[in-house]
């Protein structure tokens, strides 16, 4: 079947996050590798109790090869700190490992983020399955609807699901990891970057912090 599956290593390498990250450089499981600079795999300890799943690398992440090093990562770091979570203890990854974007030649080739399609999420899922099986976190946080779809294995409305410690559904990527006790869905930090007025920002930030705190409590 199409997708990343045939690039995911078997055996001992399958449960070694560094080996997975290394193997992902060769992935051609969908077309997104072609226009991206490099694969962006994950960051953080491979024995973390808390795993955070984003959507896909952004422009900065694509250039640097590290997840959440751009503006959304700044928001996330601030929210984790406000939630009392040491960011160094958290495993960070994305549903899709290559940067999907469009180029605007009339604006000096500025690269514009493009939301990955369901087909990209599905193609990239073998990486998420393998890394979650390797890390075996107690709680998985899905940042935004793309991540929620990947983690829960079904379309998900963030507004309806957010902020609760949800039981991991059977069969979904998390359902195959016995250690996962809960999934917490929240907004994507980049959604805050689009908020212009101060009160909207504060409200959205506080809600993100509250959801991350819920996840941290569930992981203890
Ligand atoms: N947004 C994401 O979802 N992931 C990143 O790594 C950066 C921005
Ligand atoms: Fe492979 Fe995922 Fe990159 Fe597609 S986005 S090429 S499936 S790593």
ipTM for the assembly = 0.96
Residue 108, phi-psi category: left (phi > 0), alpha (psi -120 to 50), beta (remainder): left
Check residue 55 and give its pLDDT: 98
Q: How confident is the model at residue 77 (pLDDT cuts 50, 70, 90)?
A: very high
Spans of all domains in the chain: 4-218
Check residue 171 and give its pLDDT: 86
Q: Does the C-beta of 126 come closer than 6 Å to ligand 1?
A: no
Rounded CA separation 200/205 (Å) = 8
Rounded CA separation 16/181 (Å) = 22
Q: How confident is the model at residue 217 (pLDDT cuts 50, 70, 90)?
A: very high
Bridge partners of 37?
none
Which residue, by CA, sits nearest to atom 2 of ligand 2? Answer: 124
- For residue 88, the tally of other CB atoms under 10 A from its CB is 10
Average pLDDT, the chain: 95
- pLDDT average, residue stretch 133-149: 97
Q: Classify strands 139-143 and 50-54 as parallel, antiparallel or unpaired.
A: parallel
Using the mean position of ligand 2's atoms as its centre, give its distance from the Cα of residue 1 in Å.
14
More confident residue, 205 or 2: 205
Check residue 108 and give its pLDDT: 72
Q: Which CATH class for the 4-218 domain?
A: alpha beta
Instruction: Point out the ligand nearest to the CA of residue 54.
Output: 1
Bridge partners of 118?
none
Rounded CA separation 178/198 (Å) = 42
Low-confidence winner among 59-63, 121-125, 174-178, 209-213 (lowest mean pLDDT) = 174-178
Q: Which helix (H) or strand (E) holds 148?
A: helix 145-152
| Percent of all residues in the chain with a pLDDT value above 70, rounded to a whole number | 99
Check residue 1 and give its pLDDT: 59
Q: How far apart are the first and last CA of the chain?
A: 38
């Amino acid at each position: 079947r199409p997708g990343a599956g045939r690039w995911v290593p078997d055996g001992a390498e399958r449960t070694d996050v560094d080996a997975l990250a290394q193997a992902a450089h060769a992935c051609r499981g969908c077309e997104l590798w072609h226009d991206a600079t490099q694969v962006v795999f994950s960051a953080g300890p491979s024995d973390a109790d808390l795993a955070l799943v984003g959507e896909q690398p952004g422009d900065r992440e694509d250039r640097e090869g590290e997840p959440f090093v751009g503006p959304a990562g700044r928001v996330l770091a601030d929210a984790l700190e406000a939630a009392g979570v040491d960011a160094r203890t958290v495993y960070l990854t994305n549903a899709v490992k290559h940067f999907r974007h469009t180029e605007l030649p009339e604006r000096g080739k500025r690269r514009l983020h493009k939301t990955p399609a369901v087909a990209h999420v599905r193609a990239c899922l073998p990486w998420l399955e393998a890394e979650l099986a390797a890390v075996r976190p107690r709680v998985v946080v899905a940042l935004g609807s793309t991540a929620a779809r990947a983690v829960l294995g079904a379309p998900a409305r963030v507004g309806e699901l957010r902020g609760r410690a949800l039981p991991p559904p059977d069969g979904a990527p998390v359902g195959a990891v016995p250690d996962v006790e809960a999934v917490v869905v929240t907004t994507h930090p980049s959604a805050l970057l689009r908020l212009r007025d101060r009160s909207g920002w504060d409200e959205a930030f506080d809600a993100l912090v509250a959801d991350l705190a819920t996840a941290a409590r569930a992981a203890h």
